[in-house]
Amino acid sequence: MLYGKKHKAKKGTLSKRLARTYASFFAGLLFVLNVVIFLSLSSFLIDRQKQYIINTIELVSDQIVEEIYEGDVLDDDRILAEFNINWNLNMLLSDLSGNVVNRVRNFHIDEATLPPAKESPQLKLLDGKQMILCYEHVVSDDNTTYGSLYFVLNMQTELEFLKMLAFLLVGANVAGVLAAIFVGWKTSRKMLAPIDHMISDANTINSQRLNRRLDVPEAEDELQKLSMTINSMLDRMEEAFRLQGRFAADASHELRTPLSILQGNADMLERWGRNDPVVLDESITSIQKQTSYMNKLVDNLLFLARGDSGTQQLKKEAFDIGLLLYEMVEEQSSIDEAHHYHVNAPANIRLLADRSMIKQLLHALIDNSVKYTPAGGDITLSCTEQDNGISISVADTGIGMEPEHLAHVFERFYRVDQARLRATGGMGLGLSIVKAIVDVHGGKLHADSEKGKGTHITATFLK
């Protein structure tokens, strides 16, 4: 079941959708381009024919005036016949009374339906013939007006050309769209082929095969970034599964020991402890000890679980961290006389944090130092203030550890020395709790250690 904003599902593969989108865009672009071409060419042809009528009618008018000077009359057929070189042009010559006295007719048209004269050639629809240009011009010299010329130009040839052009443009548009669909589909299939490989490889990855990774394309593009991102996510998932598996195994192991002891004591009580006060006391003491251990273990696990789920509640307050360090040393010195405790804390360093959690953090660090520092060793608590934060550190002169362990000491149930951890009675959760407290405060944690020279752990909290 899907939650959140719903999106309408689109059918078809991504390559087909890309091909359709590309073809639609190309078809729209081609259609607009063809319309622009058609309209531009139509306008060009019409303007050209308009200019042709104007130039021709002026030339014929001047020639008629010269013929009149030579003694010819307006109704002489030869006056217009010698200019009859365009079979789409009708010429009408009228006298001053408006009567047509001479004409050249190359196509049929009802002269009675001719429109009145205009200042420029105009497109008309006459007798069902489209694209007719009509224009009238006065025949005169500087002093005398002899009549008027009326030209009618049939644009049927240009119309047929435009029809053929429109047919070709439509055909080119259809062909272009089909080509765009084919090329877009082939191109998208080729470009998205690495995604198909990613899907196939990803389908082979499961909890038993988390070590497998996707092939990274050589081209430095989005697909390379995608594959690298997925591989990085798989790295984190594999690490999370590894830690989860180890956590479950270690938690089971930690619980198995006290449960086994509890079971043993229960069996002992059932067999001999009912009437044996000594066995009864020993069993009760052991049960109390193991129950306390399990309660502490469960509390620690719950604390870490709240940190993992982001439900850990903080009660921040500003307090003097130096005073807290002195308080911790005073408490610890009263119960541990085997080690020497020191405090290095300038006055009036105030930290804004959850004081109880910081105290729990210090308890965990001190407890860790106590376990791994021989009797007579030194444990030093320090705090410093920088421009961007406040650092708290606990350093000891204990056994230390090898460098390869430093990257793992804050992991849950991680054991540098299994046998020694059992001897000290640790759970392997102390430093994990330290890390959880630092993380929930948005701080940073750092550990330095050297075999035989002790360990130094520093927690830095931003101001």
Same domain, 421 and 296: no
Same domain, 303 and 318: no
Which of 167, 187, 210 is the C-terminal boundary of a domain?
167
3-state secondary structure of 350: strand
pLDDT of residue 1: 40
Q: Is residue 36 part of a domain?
A: yes
Q: Is residue 199 part of a domain?
A: no
pLDDT of residue 111: 79
DSSP 95-112: -TTS-EEEEE-SS---GG
Q: Is residue 331 part of a domain?
A: yes
Q: Is residue 73 part of a domain?
A: yes
Q: Contact at 8 Å (CB) between 146 and 96?
A: yes
Q: What is the pLDDT of residues 250-295, one digit of tens each?
A: 667 667 767 777 788 788 777 776 677 777 787 788 788 778 777 7
Q: Is residue 342 part of a domain?
A: yes
Q: What is the pLDDT of residues 14-44, one digit of tens each?
A: 667 777 777 788 888 888 998 999 999 999 9
Same domain, 231 and 325: no
d(CA 141, CA 154): 29
223 pLDDT exceeds 80? no
Same domain, 243 and 345: no
> Which of 300 and 70 is assigned the larger pLDDT?
70
Same domain, 454 and 329: yes
Q: Is residue 209 part of a domain?
A: no
For residue 139, give the CATH number of its domain: 3.30.450.20
* Closest C-alpha to 75, from 147, 23, 13: 147
Same domain, 272 and 338: no
Contact residues for 233 (Cβ-Cβ < 8 A; gap 6+): none
Same domain, 18 and 161: yes
Q: Contact at 8 Å (CB) between 238 and 210?
A: yes
Same domain, 88 and 143: yes
d(CA 346, CA 90): 112
Same domain, 268 and 322: no
- Structurally, the chain folds into a number of domains equal to 3
Which of 249, 278, 308 is the C-terminal boundary of a domain?
308
C-alpha of 290 from chain center: 53
Answer positive or negative: Cα dihedral of 317, 318, 321, 322: negative
Token representation of residue 247: 């956590």
Same domain, 161 and 53: yes
Q: Which residue has the tokens 């729990």?
A: 360
Confidence of residue 417 (pLDDT cuts 50, 70, 90): low
pLDDT of residue 307: 66
Same domain, 24 and 158: yes
Confidence of residue 247 (pLDDT cuts 50, 70, 90): low
422 pLDDT exceeds 50? no
Query: What residues make up the domain containing 301?
Result: 222-308
% the chain with pLDDT above 70: 87
Same domain, 411 and 431: yes
Q: Is residue 266 part of a domain?
A: yes
d(CA 52, CA 47): 9
For residue 277, give the CATH number of its domain: 1.10.287.130
Q: Is residue 185 part of a domain?
A: no
Q: What is the pLDDT of residues 78-127, one digit of tens each?
A: 878 888 888 889 898 988 888 888 989 888 888 777 888 777 888 877 76
